[in-house]
Amino acid sequence: MLPMFFWAFVIGGLISVFGQLMFDVVKLTPAHTMSLLVVIGAILDGFGLYEPLIDFAGAGATIPITSFGNSLVHGALQEAEQHGLVGVLTGMFEITSSGMSAAVIFGFIGALIFKPKG
Amino acid sequence: MGKKKNLTPVQQQYQQLEQKHEIKRPVWKNCLNAFWVGGLICAVGQAITYFYIYFFDFTEQTAGNPTVATMIFISMLLTGFGVYDHIGQFGGAGSAVPVTGFGNSVIAAAIEHRTEGFVLGVGGNMFKLAGSVILFGVFAAFIVALIKTLWTMMGVL
Amino acid sequence: MLTGKQTWQFSNSPVIESWGTSGGPFEAEGKLAADFDVLHDDLWMGQDSYEKAHRVLLEEAIHSALQKGEFQKEEIQFMLAGDLINQITPTSFAARTMAIPYFGLFGACSTSMEGLALASFIINYQGAKKVVTGASSHNAATEKQFRYPTEYGGQKPPTAQWTVTGAGAVVLTDNQDKQGKIVTTSATIGKVVDLGISDPFNMGGAMAPAAADTIISHLQDLHRHPSYYDLIVTGDLGRIGQATTYELLQQAGLEITREQFQDCGLLIYNEDQPVQSGGSGAGCSASVVYGHLLNHMKKGVYRKILVVATGALLSPLSFQQKETIPCIAHAVAIERN
Amino acid sequence: MIQSVNPEPGAVALYEQKNKELAEKVEKDIQSFDAIYDVAVIKGKEETLVAYKVKHLKRFGMKKIEKDINKLLEDHYPNEDFVVSSDYKIFIETIELLERMKDPSFSEKKAEQQLQRVISLKKEMT
Chain D closest-CA separation from residue B60 CA (Å): 6
Q: Which C residues, 36 through 55, put their C-beta within 8 Å of a C-beta on chain B?
A: 48-51
**Residues with pLDDT less than 70, chain A:** none
Instruction: List Cβ<8 Å contacts ≥24 apart for B11-16.
Output: B11/C195, B11/C196, B12/C196, B14/C195, B14/C196, B14/C209, B15/C195, B15/C196, B15/C197
Residue pair B106/C151 in contact (Cβ under 8 Å)? The answer is no
Among A112, A111, B116, smallest CA distance to C144 is for: B116
Across the interface, whether the CB atoms of D56 and A1 are under 8 A apart is answered no
Which residue of chain D is at minimal alpha-carbon distance from B64?
Answer: D126
The DSSP result for chain A, as a single string, is -HHHHHHHHHHHHHHHHHHHHHHHTS---HHHHHHHHHHHHHHHHHTT-HHHHHHHHTHHHHSBTHHHHHHHHHHHHHHHHHHTTHHHHHTTTTTTHHHHHHHHHHHHHHHHH-----
CB nearest D90 (choices: B54, B59, B63): B59
pLDDT score recorded for residue D13: 63
Q: Which residue, among C155, C163, C164, would best test binding to A if mutated, counting the most A CBs under 10 Å from its CB? A: C155
Q: Which A residues, 9 through 68, put their C-beta within 8 Å of a C-beta on chain D?
A: 51-53, 55-56
In this structure, chain C runs to a length of 337
Q: What is the ipTM of this complex?
A: 0.89
pLDDT greater than 60 at residue D2: no
- Looking at the 3D structure of chain A, how many domains does it have? 1
Show me where the domains of chain B are located: 25-126, 131-157
Across the interface, whether the CB atoms of D126 and B54 are under 8 A apart is answered no
- Band of residue B26 on the pLDDT scale cut at 50, 70, 90: very high
**Structural domain harbouring A49:** 2-113
Strand ranges across the sheet with D11-13 = D11-13, D36-43, D47-54, D81-85
Q: Which C residues, 295 through 314, put their C-beta within 8 Å of a C-beta on chain B?
A: none
User: Side chain identity at B13, as an amino acid letter?
Assistant: Q
pLDDT greater than 60 at residue D7: no
pLDDT score recorded for residue A87: 87
pLDDT score recorded for residue D99: 84
C197: which chain B residues are within 8 Å (Cβ-Cβ)? 15, 18
Residue pair B96/A34 in contact (Cβ under 8 Å)? The answer is yes
The torsion angle over the Cα atoms of residues D19, D20, D23 and D29, rounded to 10 degrees, is -110
Q: For C2-173, give the CATH class.
A: alpha beta
Model confidence pLDDT, tens digit, residues A57-75: 999 999 999 999 999 999 9
B59: which chain D residues are within 8 Å (Cβ-Cβ)? 87-90, 121-122, 124
pLDDT score recorded for residue D5: 41
Chain B closest-CA separation from residue C13 CA (Å): 37
Across the interface, whether the CB atoms of A117 and C150 are under 8 A apart is answered yes
- Does this chain's domain C2-173 share its CATH topology with C184-336? yes
| Domain-located, residue A118 | no
Contact status of C72 with chain A (Cβ, < 8 Å): no
Which residue of chain A is at minimal alpha-carbon distance from D60?
Answer: A52
Model confidence pLDDT, tens digit, residues D75-121: 988 888 888 998 889 998 888 888 888 777 888 888 888 888 888 88
B vs D, Cβ pairs < 8 A, gives 26
CB atoms within 10 A of CB C304: 15
Model confidence pLDDT, tens digit, residues C268-326: 999 899 999 999 999 999 999 999 999 999 999 999 999 999 999 999 999 899 899 99
Q: Which A residues, 16 through 55, put their C-beta within 8 Å of a C-beta on chain C?
A: 23-24, 27, 30
pLDDT score recorded for residue C4: 94
Section D58-85 average pLDDT: 89
Q: Which residue, among B58, B59, B65, would best test binding to D if mutated, counting the most D CBs under 10 Å from its CB? A: B59
Per-residue HEC secondary structure of B43-57 comes to HHHHHHHHHHHHHCC
CB nearest A117 (choices: C151, C154, C155): C151
| Domain-located, residue A78 | yes
C181, burial (CB in 10 Å: exposed 0-12, middle 13-18, buried 19+): middle
Between the two ends of chain C, the Cα-to-Cα distance in Å is 20
Residue pair A111/B122 in contact (Cβ under 8 Å)? The answer is yes
CB nearest B88 (choices: C155, C247, C277): C155
> What CATH number matches the domain at C184-336, 3.40.47.40, 1.20.1050.10, 3.40.1800.10, 3.30.360.10?
3.40.47.40
Task: Calculate the average pLDDT of chain C.
Answer: 94
Among C216, B92, C135, C63, smallest CA distance to A18 is for: B92
Show me where the domains of chain C are located: 2-173, 184-336
Spatial separation of the C-alpha atoms in residues C85 and C87, rounded to whole Å = 6
CB-side neighbour CA atoms (13 Å) of B114: 22
Chain B closest-CA separation from residue C274 CA (Å): 10
| Domain-located, residue A98 | yes
Q: Which B residues, 105 through 134, put their C-beta within 8 Å of a C-beta on chain A?
A: 105-114, 118, 122, 126, 129-130, 132-134
Rounded to 5 degrees, what are φ and ψ at D49? -95, 125
Among A30, A39, A47, smallest CA distance to A72 is for: A39
Residue pair D81/D62 in contact (Cβ under 8 Å)? The answer is no
Model confidence pLDDT, tens digit, residues C170-214: 999 999 998 889 999 999 999 999 999 989 899 999 999 999 999
CB atoms within 10 A of CB B143: 16
Residues 6+ positions from C217 with CB-CB distance below 8 Å: C4, C5, C6, C7, C188, C190
Alpha-carbon distance values, C219 to B122, C208, C214, C227, D111 (Å): 51, 17, 9, 10, 95
Model confidence pLDDT, tens digit, residues C48-100: 999 999 999 999 999 999 999 999 999 999 999 999 999 999 999 999 999 99
pLDDT score recorded for residue D112: 87
Per-residue HEC secondary structure of chain D comes to CCHHHCCCCCEEECCCHHHHHHHHHHHHHHHCCCCEEEEEEEECCCEEEEEEEECHHHHHHHHHHHHHHHHHHHHHCCCCEEEEECCHHHHHHHHHHHHHHCCCCCCHHHHHHHHHHHHHHHHCCC
Spatial separation of the C-alpha atoms in residues C14 and B154, rounded to whole Å = 85
CB nearest D126 (choices: A1, A53, A95): A95
